[in-house]
Chain A
Amino acid sequence: MERTADLELVAWRARRQPHVQTSSRLFVGTLLACALVSALFATSLPLQVSIVTVFLFAGPHNWFELRYFMQRLPVRFGKSRNFFLTAFGGIFLLTVSFISLPLWYNAATSRGWNWPNILAGWNSLLILWVGVLVWMRGKQKLRRDWSWAIPFAFALISVNWLAPQFFSLAIVYLHPLVALWFLDRHLRRTRPEWVRSYHHCLYLLPVLLGAMVWYLSQETVLPDDNGLFWRITQHAGAELLPGLSPHMLVAVHLFLEILHYGVWLFALPLIAANPLETKHKPNRAIWDVKSVPLARHPRGFPRLVTLALLLGAIVVVILWFGFSMDYSTTRDIYFTLAIAHVLAEAPFLLRMI
């Protein structure tokens, strides 16, 4: 019986091999084409493409992240209760404190406080929170000891206190790359045969970034004579790094942002679950609430999931409306509130490692 099963599996693998190669090539080709086109657009028209990209994709990508995270949430926390409580508590407190940072800035400037110290304090809380999450996640794994996370977090906090504004800028540039890590973990689970090709594609990333930096470092400045363009160049760190070309900074940041949006909006939703697993289960549409296990489970919360996804969709529409009416203000509000999704990525990525 076992031999018969093995023979069937070997035959199935043999039949499947050409299909795997073709799909892998298609995947690699799509990735490379997207990366090259993104780099080209980001290099040639950074400010214009940045405005259009944020307008179109910022809100929807947050909705897709919300849906993805809800797909990853267990119905009952069980032994992970403390991990999730720390995660959600940290997301809430850090988001609220981040939103209140402009108030702290006003207080600091009027009362003569040292503003970078306030920023360093928030960064320290963020690093400590991530360090504790890594340590807690490590405790759930039998064969791994992730206690190094605490001393590593302290070392990072130490560096952060020496240059807090640069540390914040580093988060701006590193956050888009987290999406690529999510894609890696997702592929390992659903399309393991693509992982190797995907890693080969990742080698192209530093090459593209290096080429962009080399090409754009000789470029003259970007026109930041209006408020919106100025905001975009400041977001990319033009004021903190006056020795570097603002064109290059905006283009590199935009390129990473486009990759980030591309992963959340297209790559992850389009890569369905493992074909073996979905053979007898039809793929559900992304707007179908039952596609989220938390809603599908008999002991789940379908109404809560529906409400969350509906509210998310309404926020996306409000964002589009806001961008149409007053792009600069909406952009500022969005990037302040969007810290919540940056924070939420940490615990859910840890759950996948």
Chain B
Amino acid sequence: MKTTLTLVLLIIGTVTLARADIARPEPKPTQPSPAKHVISTGLEIVPDSKTYNARLQISEAALKELRDATSGGATTKSFGQRITGSASNTIVAGLFLFLSISFGGVWLARSSGKTRSHKAVAAILVACATVSTAAIIAQGNAGPPPSYLWRNLTKNLSTGKTTRGPIDVEIVAEGDGIKLIVPTRDASRTDD
């Protein structure tokens, strides 16, 4: 019994020592802080054979929007989040939606003994109000992806044509200067 107990203690002690000798795990590389989305606007890339230096032109309106967005704290909100994220607008919109459903309900109740068409109109009304609001909140991805408008960039650059498409302005912690990242997917690809 004593021998067994001694062996167990020896094994436990050895294992503890052995585990203590395991090298410490490599520290995980620090993830770069995510880019903060500031504004969504349009970008125009104009090849110009007459100019000697690359120039970045920003309209006054875009600059003001950019300044406002950065001074108010850069956000990562999308369009849908922006419109639903505005507290005052959402409150007013909700108030009028409430009024709409209330008045619609009263109208439906008053006209319940009249015609079926009234009920149909009321149902459409309530459905429209609900679906339209829900559609905006759900941020339905309408329209082609942004990369679609940039698909001819390479060709346009070589032929000297202007290309325009949507752009998200982001602020990143690393690097210096300004970096332009443009999707250059093959226009013939249809898998994505």
Contact = CB atoms under 8 A, between A and B. Distances in A.
A152 B133 contact: no
Interface in B118-144: 118, 121-122, 125, 128-129, 132-133, 136, 143-144
How would you classify the secondary structure of chain B's contact residues: helix, strand, loop or mixed? Answer: helix
Given A154-B103, A162-B89, A221-B44, A243 B96 contact: no
Nearest to A153: B100
A304 to B, nearest CB: 39
A155 interface: yes
Interface residues of B, number: 50
A158 interface: yes
A221 B149 CA distance: 11
B50 to A, nearest CB: 14
A155 B88 contact: no
A109 B63 CA distance: 13
Interface residues of A, number: 31
B170 to A, nearest CB: 16
B40 A220 contact: no
Given A162-B89, A239-B42, A220 B162 contact: yes
A159 interface: yes
A157 interface: yes
A155 B125 contact: yes
B102 to A, nearest CB: 8
A187 interface: no
Contacts of A158: 93-97, 100, 129, 133
A150 B88 contact: no
A244 B144 CA distance: 9
Contacts of B56: none
A130 B102 CA distance: 19
A157 B96 contact: yes
A148 B166 contact: no
B111 A117 contact: no
Given A120-B92, A162-B83, A221-B162, A155 B121 contact: no
A114 to B, nearest CB: 7
Contact of B97 (A148, A155, A242, A244): A155
Interface in B66-114: 83-84, 86, 88-90, 92-97, 99-104, 107, 110-111, 114
A225 B88 CA distance: 37
Interface in A147-181: 147-148, 150-155, 157-159, 161-163
B144 A243 contact: yes
A153 B128 CA distance: 12
Contacts of B95: 158
A232 to B, nearest CB: 15
B96 A154 contact: yes
B89 A117 contact: yes
Given A158-B129, A221-B44, 13 more contacts: A148-B122, A154-B103, A158-B97, A161-B93, A162-B93, A162-B133, A163-B136, A220-B161, A239-B41, A242-B42, A242-B165, A242-B166, A243-B166
Interface of A: 109, 114, 116-117, 120, 124, 145, 147-148, 150-155, 157-159, 161-163, 217, 220-221, 238-239, 242-246
